[in-house]
A and B are shown apart, each in its own frame.
Chain A
Amino acid sequence: MKHLAQGIITRRTELSESYFLLELECQEIAREALPGQFIMLECKGETFLKRPMGLSSADPEKGVISFIYHVTGKGTRSLHSQLIGETIEVIGPLGNSFWKEKNARTIGLVAGGTGIGPLLMFGNWALKNSPETEIIGFIGAKNAKMICGEKEMKRFAKEVYCATNDGSFGYKGFVTDLLTEFLSKNSLESIIACGPTQMMKKTAEIASERNLQCQVSLEEHMACGFGACIGCIAEIKGQGYSMICAKGPVFDASEVVWKESNL
C-alpha cells in the first residue's frame, strides 16, 4: 500500500564528495518497502514537484528508511539544507522491485552515481534472504573523491571493483568497460544496473551480447510517482509507452527500446 506520510530526518552521512545518505523515520514506508522501490520526496524551498529517490534501506523494526542523494539542482540543494529533526512529506513505497532470477548464483551489481542506493538495499536483502547468492559489485564515478558506497557494498559483496573516468581510483575508464573486462575472464549469471541512462543502456548491450539476464532501474522526470500523470514513460517492446513509476522503475533490459530521447 502506498502512503502519504511525514518523515523525520534522523541522520545525514557524507559518503563521498557531495553524496549523502539521508535517514528518515517513517514507519509506514519502512514496514513495506522492497529493494528497487522509491519514494517521492518533498524538497521545500522553491520546488513545486516532489522528487523521486530510490530507497537504499528500509528497516521495519526501527521504522527508518534511507536514500542517497547527490546535490545537483534546486531540489537536492534545498534538501541538503534541511536539519536533523525536521519533517518532510513523502509518498511511498512506489514502483516495483528488483527480482532474483531463479538459479542466478552470481549476480553483478553495476552502480553509477546515486544508483548505488537501491543496489545496496538489494545486496543487503540478498545477504539475508538468499545467502548462497554471490555478489560482485561494480561502481563508477568521475574521480576517486566521488566513489560512493564502496565500503557499504563490501559488507555483502564478494568483490567490489571501482572505475573512475580520470583513473584516480581503480580502473581508468567507464564502469561498463570495467564490466566488459571482468566478463572476458569471469562469468556472471545475472546483472542489475542502476545509474545514468547511458550507463544502463551500455550495460544492457553487454548483457545481451552474452545472453545474460539484466535488470535496469529507469529514470525519467516524474510529477506524481504513482501512475496518475503518464509523464514518466519509457518505450517497452510491444507495449508502446509504459509508465516508469507504475510498471517499473525496474525493467528487464531486453524489453526496453533504448533511444537517444530517453537519455
Chain B
Amino acid sequence: MNLSVSIADIKMKNPVTTAAGTFGDGSQFGDFIDVSRIGAIIAKGASLEPWKGNPPHRLVETPSGMLNSIGLQNDGVEGFIREKLPRLLKHRVPIIVGVFDKTPENYARIVKRLNREKGISGFEINLSCPNLEKGGKTFCDYPELVKEVVGAIRKATDLPIIAKLSPNVTDIVAIAKSARDAGADALSLINTLVGMRINIKTREPYLAKNTGGLSGPAIRPVALAKVFLVSEARLEIPIIGMGGIQTAEDAIEFLLAGASAVAIGTANFVNPRATLDVLEGIEQYMRENSVNDINDLIGAVRAHSQ
C-alpha cells in the first residue's frame, strides 16, 4: 500500500500534515503521539521581528468550532531559528516553515535568512496579513499583491514555496492563478474565515480584537468547496487541503476533491491524537476499499457534470 505523496519537491511518507499555528513546535504533542509518524509539519514560523500578539480574550468557542485572534505572536525569525527550529527538526519529518510579515521585502528577508539554515523542506507563505505599504490591504485579497509577495519570495529561495490562501475572497481561483504565475509551487487551502461573537450580557465582543478567524468543523464544507473549485480549474499545482478536518472520513473527502495532502489544525486542540487518528483511518479505508496507492484518491471525486 502506498501512502506517500509529493507536494512539489517535498516528499511526504503519508498525506497528513499540521496546519500552521496549531501544532506548536511538535514537542507539545510528544506525550500523546509519535510525532515522527506524521507526513510533514507545517510550523507557524516567523515574521522578521518578534510580534507581541493580541491581548486577551484571544479565543472563544462557536458552534462546531472556534474563533481566534492570536495576532501571530512569535519571537521573530532569529528567535525561531534559535528556539523552535531545532525542536522541529528533531521530529525527523519534512519541516515546512510559515512566513508572514507586512511588506514583500520583509517576507523575502525572512526566507533569505531561513535559507542559511539546514533541514528546512519548504516555506508556507501566509498571505492573510495586512500590507503596510498598501494602506493595510490584506495581501491575499488582491491578485496583484499576491503576485508581488510570492514573486519577491521566489527570487529569494530555491526551496518549494506554498501559498496559503484565504477563503474571504470573491474569486479564489483568480488568486490561486496569480500565486502560481508568480512562482508558487503549491497552495494551502484554506486559512480561517472572518467571524464574530458578542456577549449579550456585557454587549462586548468576546474577542479583544472584536472579530477573529473561524476554524474547526464549522468551516469544513467551505474549505472542501474551495479545494474542489481550485482543483477543477486545473492549474496544475498541488493543493494541501485544510479546514475542520477531524477524522479520516473528512480527510478522504479533501483528497477526493483534489487535495494532495491534508493538514490537521483545530482538531489537534480537542484531540491531540487527531493527526495519527486520521492517518490510521486513511490506512483502514484504503485496505477496506482495495486502494493500493493514495494518489489514486487524489482528485478522484466523481463530480456531476454541469
Contacts and interface: CB of A to CB of B under 8 A. Distances in A.
Contacts of A222: 59
A231 interface: yes
Contacts of B32: 2, 4
Contacts of B266: 223
Interface stretch (B65-73, B89-97, B121-129): B65-73
Interface stretch (B139-147, B223-231, B255-263, B270-278): B270-278
Given A2-B32, A220-B56, A241-B53, A261 B70 contact: no
Contacts of B60: 221
B63 A227 contact: no
A241 B270 contact: no
Contact of A261 (B28, B64, B73, B208): B208
A205 B268 CA distance: 38
A231 B24 contact: no
B273 A4 contact: yes
Contacts of B56: 220-221, 232-234, 261-262
A235 B23 CA distance: 22
Query: Of residues B53, B61, B66, B73, which shows the largest number of chain A Cβ atoms within 10 Å of its Cβ?
Result: B61
Given A48-B216, A49-B66, A223-B66, A229 B272 contact: no
A228 B31 contact: no
Contact of A229 (B62, B63, B217, B269): B269
A226 B73 CA distance: 17
B25 to A, nearest CB: 10
B271 A48 contact: no
Given A4-B273, A48-B270, A228 B23 contact: yes
Interface in B74-99: none
Which applies to chain B's interface (DSSP): helix, strand, loop or mixed? loop
A49 B61 contact: yes
A201 interface: no
Given A2-B31, A223-B68, A226-B28, A46 B63 contact: yes
A238 interface: no
Interface in B5-57: 21-24, 28-29, 31-32, 52-53, 55-57
Contacts of A233: 53, 56, 58, 73
A210 interface: no
Contact of B59 (A1, A89, A221, A226): A221
A231 B216 CA distance: 15
B269 A223 contact: yes
Contacts of B70: 229-231
B4 to A, nearest CB: 26
B104 to A, nearest CB: 26
A227 B31 CA distance: 12
Contact of B61 (A48, A232, A262): A48
Contacts of B23: 228
A222 B24 CA distance: 15
A140 to B, nearest CB: 21
Interface in A237-262: 240-241, 246, 259, 261-262
B186 to A, nearest CB: 24
